[in-house]
């Protein structure tokens, strides 16, 4: 059962880690590529 508990904890940590990295990647992507309309306004 300890193995199963270990699996539950590590797998959830891995998922949230992947989500965190994807969040960072998308945030950076959104910052780097700005909408054209905004550029014109600037």
Please give the Cα distance from 14 to 20 (Å, whole number): 10
For residue 9, what are its two tokens? 């904890």
Taking the complex as a whole, how short is the minimal distance between the CB of residue 12 and another protein, in angstroms?
A: 6
Site of interaction with another protein (CB under 8 A): 1, 3-5, 7-8, 11-12, 14-23, 25-27, 29-30, 33-38
How many angstroms separate the Cα of 28 from the Cα of each of 2, 10, 21, 24, 32?
Answer: 39, 27, 11, 6, 6
Taking the complex as a whole, how short is the minimal distance between the CB of residue 30 and another protein, in angstroms?
A: 6
Taking the complex as a whole, how short is the minimal distance between the CB of residue 34 and another protein, in angstroms?
A: 7
């Amino acid at each position: 059962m300890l193995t199963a508990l270990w699996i539950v904890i590590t797998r959830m940590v891995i998922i949230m880690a992947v989500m965190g990295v994807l969040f960072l990647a998308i945030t950076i992507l959104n910052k780097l590529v700005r909408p054209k309309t905004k550029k014109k306004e600037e």
